[in-house]
Structures are given as structure tokens and as C-alpha cells.
Amino acid sequence: MAVFGAASAAQAQTSAALPTGDVYAIRNAIDAWLTSCSERNLDRCMSMYSDDVVGVFQGAPDYDYDTLKAGLALSYEKDGIDDVWSNELEEISGSGDMAVVRSNRTLTQTPKGGGRTATLKLRTTEILRRGDDGAWTIARFVMYPN
């Protein structure tokens, strides 16, 4: 189950150029996406990324869609671990069919049989694009340890 910083999300900076409905659609898409990631649902998790996504993680080569999917699939194969993603939105801004999202994310992994919990804290900046179907997807992202 994913846990989200609702109070923080409500306080995230927004741009007047991006209609309130778009801001809520983006927040809802991110919440649903992180729930999918917490549930290790690869197809639903990948549906948040555009086919031409480019991702940058500090110290690693750029990720494209296939590389990202392969990496997630490999990490999801680890049995016996509960994943919980949490999110603190800092900013949602943009115009038209483009948006920028800045967040602090935390992945908490707990062994199902007990043991030491691992926590990974990340800073993210994402560029989202609205598709012809109205859905917001991540087109570009930069992520680094916080």
C-alpha cells in the first residue's frame, strides 16, 4: 500500500498557467502510479511513462523505456519484500500539454518475514506530457539520492 503526503500535496506550489483541473489530474496520476509501483504491477507502473521517455539517475547512463522496464522487472522479481512509495510534492507547474513536477520520494522496503527495513530517499524533477487521450505521462525525469 502506498502512502502519500496529502497535506504536502495540497500545499505544493502551482502555476497559474496550469488549470486547477490539470493539477489535480497530475496529482491523481502520480498517486495511482506510485500505488502501482508499490504493488509491483509492472504494466500499470510503466503506463505512466511515455514511449519516448528519457530518464537520468545520478551516476548512471540515461534510461529509455525498454531499459527502465527491464530494470523495474528485475527489481520486482525480488520476493519477500513489501514496497511502499511515499511522495511529497513540491511543485506542479506548466502550460498547455506540458507540466513540470518536483518531488521528494521515499521507497521503504520491508522484508515480509521480518528483518531490517531499507529506505531510499530521492529528489525528482519530471516533465509530463498530456497525450491525445488526455492522460499525463512522464516524458523526461531526473532523479538523485536525497
DSSP labels, 109-133: EEETTS---EEEEEEEEEEEEE-TT
Q: What is the pTM of this model?
A: 0.86
Sketch the domain layout of the chain as residue ranges: 6-145
Strand (E) or helix (H) holding 49: strand 49-57
3-state SS assignment for residue 60: coil
- The fold for domain 6-145 equals Nuclear Transport Factor 2; Chain: A, (3.10.450)
State how far the Cα of 113 lies from the Cα of 22, in Å rounded to an integer. Answer: 41
Strand (E) or helix (H) holding 71: helix 65-76
| Burial 120-144, CB ≥16 within 10 A → b, else e | eebebbbbbbbeeeeebbbbbbebe
Tally the C-alpha atoms within 13 A of residue 138's C-alpha that lie toward its C-beta.
27
State how far the Cα of 123 lies from the Cα of 132, in Å rounded to an integer. Answer: 29
Digitized pLDDT (tens) for each residue of the chain, 146 residues in all: 344 443 344 456 655 589 999 999 999 999 999 999 999 999 999 999 999 999 999 889 999 999 999 999 999 998 899 999 999 999 999 999 999 999 999 999 999 988 999 999 999 999 999 999 999 999 999 999 99
